[in-house]
Amino acid sequence: MRRVTTFSQIVRTCEEKKWKFADYFLHQEMEWRRRNGEDSSPETILEKMDINLRVMESSVKEGINGVQSYSGLTGYDATRLNTYRSEKASLGQSIYLDAVVNAIAINEVNASMGLICATPTAGSCGVVPGILLAAREHLKLNRRQQLDFLITSGGCGLMIGNLASISGAEGGCQAEIGSASGMAAAALAEAAGGSPRASSNALAIAIKGLLGLVCDPVASLVEVPCIKRNATGVVNAITAAEMALAGMLSRIPTDEVISAMYSVGQLMPSALRETALGGLAQTPTARRYTRELKQTGKITWQDSKKLPSSE
């Protein structure tokens, strides 16, 4: 198979072979493993992907049951939001709210040093599985379709990493949450019956929606504002997928959008790229939290009920 380096080439290949993105990326993984002398059977690849899916399912359950980070900065918000969803849901229940609950749950498990699956990073670990575990109920996806969702999102993440970056230190939060949102949007569009071209458009629309997002973690921890930004990434991805499925196009081609994201990341000052030297990390409250952490090793409050309801 010829070497493919752009999304435009992937879309053309899929259209020629009548493949989905999941088919293309599965074949690429099989070929890579064959060249490296590894087991290249699709069964082996799907089995490994199923392990990742089981980790995602477990972390959602753990997060909804309630966890708190060692710092005390975050915790139990997934529980709060799940209760709200079950008892109130003033604005109505939807796949958006379901996915947000999942995403926050997974990120709180990450902040509490629990087991998660980075998609594509730990700081953005809630977007892809958050949407998948919500979409599988709404779209009635079987297990293989769920694995295809992960193959598509993973393949898109690999492409973004090769063409630009998935590192907050290199490209800001747009490279983490933005990339995760694009990955999830492409996979969701496909899972809902969209074409490879629709998936490519969904990815581009999602990344454009978060272009320029800075990485400014309070006290250099992957907690504030990272956890709630995963919720933003979820909503952005679902919206992008809906627009692509409706036939809306990204007027800027996907590859150019990714190139622009990389360019923006290079233009971004280092203070806004995971250093905690700018943005929210340098607000008076954030500096106070940081001082307390340095002095005591953890924030002064211990009772989860006293945790602030928002940053």
Residues 94 and 103: their CA atoms lie apart, in Å, by: 14
User: What distance in Å separates the CA atoms of residue 84 and residue 101, rounded to the nearest whole number?
Assistant: 10
Instruction: Say how far apart CA 6 and CA 167 lie, in whole Å.
Output: 20
The rounded distance, in Å, linking the Cα atoms of 117 and 120 is: 8
Q: What is the pLDDT of residue 5?
A: 82
Q: How far apart are CA 202 and CA 64, in angstroms?
A: 29
Alpha helix segments (H runs only) across the chain? 7-17, 21-35, 42-65, 77-87, 95-111, 127-138, 143-163, 168-171, 177-191, 196-209, 226-245, 254-267, 284-296
Please give the model's pTM, rounded to 2 decimal places: 0.93
Look up residue 280 and give its amino acid: L
Q: Give the span between the Cα atoms of 69 and 111, in whole angstroms.
A: 5
Q: How many residues does the chain have?
A: 311
| pLDDT the model gives residue 296 | 78
- Are 200 and 171 a contacting pair, CB within 8 Å? no
User: Residue 147 corresponds to which tokens in the numbers above?
Assistant: 């694995």
- Scanning the structure block, which residue is given the tokens 């997060």? 63
* Ordered per-residue pLDDT tens for the chain, 311 residues: 445 589 999 999 999 999 999 999 999 999 999 999 999 999 999 999 999 999 999 999 999 999 999 999 999 999 999 999 988 877 777 899 999 999 999 999 999 999 999 999 999 999 999 999 999 999 999 999 999 999 999 999 999 999 999 999 999 999 999 999 999 999 999 999 999 999 999 999 999 999 999 999 999 999 999 999 999 999 999 999 999 999 999 999 999 999 999 999 999 999 999 999 999 999 999 999 999 998 876 654 444 344 444 44
Output the six-digit token pair for 171: 């490209």
What CATH number is given for 7-306 in this structure? 1.10.4100
Cβ proximity of 183 and 120 under 8 Å: yes
> 215 in helix, strand or coil?
strand
Query: Crossing angle, helix 95-111 and helix 77-87, to 10 degrees?
Result: 160
Q: Find where tokens 């106070």 sit.
A: 288
pLDDT for the residue numbered 298:
61
Cα separation, 291 vs 298, in Å, equals 10
What is the C-alpha to C-alpha distance for residues 119 and 135, in angstroms, rounded to an integer?
Answer: 17
Structure letter (DSSP) for residue 18? T
What are the residue boundaries of the structural domains of the chain, listed by start?
Answer: 7-306
Which pLDDT value is given to residue 306?
A: 42
CA dist., res. 102 & res. 129, Å (int): 8
Closest CA to 129 of 26, 57, 185: 57
CA atoms within 13 A on the CB side of 257: 27
The answer to whether the beta carbons of residues 71 and 219 sit under 8 Å apart is: yes
